[in-house]
Amino acid sequence: MTRIGFVRHGITDWNLENRIQGQTDIPLNDTGRKQAHALANRLKGEEWDVLYASDLIRARETAEIVAAAMGVSVRTDPRLREMNCGAVEGTTQEERIARWGENWKSLPLNIESKESIVDRGLSFTSYLLANYQDSSVLVFSHGALLRLTLKQLIPQVDTRERLRNSAITTLVHFAGSWDCELYNCTKHIS
């Protein structure tokens, strides 16, 4: 049995401004750091064998705060990065409409495909299953990558609810199938 806790990073100023972050390296804000500390307090008494994070600062910093409370280190993997949002990174909805019109989503703006994001997420998950059997792994990443990956791993679960900042979703892999123990939980900050 392999247990994986998928965590979305703490909040950033761009989250609050509704700006698309994508792979732009935006740090946590003070609230995001408080969310990470609250998550660390929640998880420090649990058994987690290894922590992985996206190499983008907002996910890595969230992971490092949790890891410090547990006395473990964080490994990074670029497959855990947020989707590359191309030309729209750093923009708000209003700015996108002003720049490209109402149908901006249909334009070739160099945005990474959903298939590419899912491939990265599933590739990393397969890596964990191959290398951490009978282990518990915490994975710190980003909203789009996590949402699209989880949709593939647990199609029986309604994953339409937007993942909240610092939320944890816990899956267990046993006998070739996935079971969702916890979805989008933020009781540490609620």
Token pair for 40: 């660390």
Determine whether 82 is an active site residue: yes
Q: For residues 167 and 187, what is the distance between their CA atoms, to the nearest angstrom? A: 8
Asked if 38 contacts 172 with a C-beta cutoff of 8 angstroms, the reply is no
Determine whether 142 is an active site residue: no
Q: For residues 122 and 77, what is the distance between their CA atoms, to the nearest angstrom? A: 13
Q: Which residues contact 73 (CB under 8 A, 6 or more apart)?
A: 51, 67
Query: Which among 37, 61, 64, 82 is annotated as catalytic?
Result: 82
**138: helix, coil or strand?**
strand
Q: Which residues contact 187 (CB under 8 A, 6 or more apart)?
A: 42
DSSP one-letter code for 107: S
Angle in degrees, CA 84, 114, 31, rounded to 5: 55
The residue whose two tokens read 């949790």 is 66
Q: For residues 89 and 168, what is the distance between their CA atoms, to the nearest angstrom? A: 25
Which active-site residues does the annotation give?
A: 9, 82
